[in-house]
């Protein structure tokens, strides 16, 4: 399978430019640069992934994103942003399904409701199963894939270093049950936007709850999870 993260798709028509023009120069420039970069690189990146999906051996069976597929952010038009991403992505006609572990950019600045409205049906179609939550699992080939929602609707906490990335009790109980049911799978892979250990900053799962983080790690280890893939940090890193 192919793993990517933090694509940060952003299209010109996804933003309210009248609002952006009221920003200070630094903030406005940041949004404009993100949009310009995305409009240059997004479709070529998707075409390259399509080529890899068609030509790599052994053949990849899925593309899994560890979050922030879309950029969102200030002055975003949430519905248009989600619809435009889906339209552009589907235009590539990717031959394998896409999974996504939602990140903070998919949950901020009014994006949360739009993500649930548009992305859950889109991902359901990709996987040929009905998703009712942002966390889910699916069997592909000889592997069991588990996708986590580190920012559930009942979350607490703020943004960046103060953000409280955690599963909350309902998702934790679901994860325990899902792992118990699939413990004998040949491979179990897990995907989260937030990592377990800091790479470039302290923005990680259960950063303020070290005992809970250890319990989460123990849960993965006792159930033979082979790897946890994460994003958010915008760095390539392998922790063994």
pLDDT in tens, 154-193: 665 545 445 668 888 999 999 999 999 999 999 999 999 9
For 125-145, how does the pLDDT look when each residue is reduced to its tens digit (9 = 90+)?
999 999 999 999 999 999 999
Distance CA 116, CA 153 (A): 11
At 89 the pLDDT is 98
Q: In what order do the strands lie in the sheet with 136-140?
A: 136-140, 143-147, 187-192, 227-230
Distance CA 220, CA 117 (A): 30
The answer to whether the CB of 58 falls within 8 A of the CB of 2 is: no
The distance between the two most distant Cα atoms of the chain, rounded to a whole number of Å, is 56
- From first to last of its 240 residues, the chain has per-residue pLDDT tens of 999 999 999 999 999 999 998 988 888 898 899 999 999 999 999 999 999 999 999 999 999 999 999 999 889 999 999 999 999 999 999 999 999 999 989 988 789 999 999 999 999 999 999 999 999 999 999 999 999 998 877 665 545 445 668 888 999 999 999 999 999 999 999 999 988 887 776 678 887 788 999 999 999 999 999 999 999 878 775 554
Distance CA 41, CA 130 (A): 31
């Amino acid at each position: 399978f192919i793993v990517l993260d933090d694509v940060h798709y952003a299209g010109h028509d996804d933003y309210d430019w009248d609002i952006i023009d009221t920003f200070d120069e630094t903030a406005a420039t940041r949004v404009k640069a993100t949009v310009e970069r995305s409009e240059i690189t997004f479709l070529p990146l998707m075409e390259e992934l399509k080529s890899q999906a068609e030509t790599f051996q052994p053949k990849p069976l899925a593309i899994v994103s560890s979050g922030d597929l879309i950029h969102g952010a200030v002055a975003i038009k949430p519905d248009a942003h989600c619809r435009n991403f889906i339209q552009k992505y589907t235009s590539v006609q990717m031959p394998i399904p896409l999974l996504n572990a939602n990140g903070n950019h998919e949950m901020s600045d009014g994006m949360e409701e739009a993500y649930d409205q548009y992305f859950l049906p889109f991902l359901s179609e990709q996987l040929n199963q009905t998703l009712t939550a942002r966390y889910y699992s699916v069997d592909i080939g000889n592997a069991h894939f588990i996708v986590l929602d580190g920012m559930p609707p009942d979350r607490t906490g703020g943004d960046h270093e103060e953000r409280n990335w955690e599963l909350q009790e309902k998702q934790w109980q679901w994860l325990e049950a899902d792992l118990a049911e699939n413990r004998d799978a040949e491979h179990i892979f897990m995907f989260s936007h937030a990592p377990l250990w800091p790479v470039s900053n302290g923005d990680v799962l259960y950063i303020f709850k070290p005992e809970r983080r250890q319990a989460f790690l123990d849960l993965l280890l006792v159930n033979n999870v082979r790897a946890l893939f994460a994003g958010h940090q915008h760095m390539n890193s392998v922790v063994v």
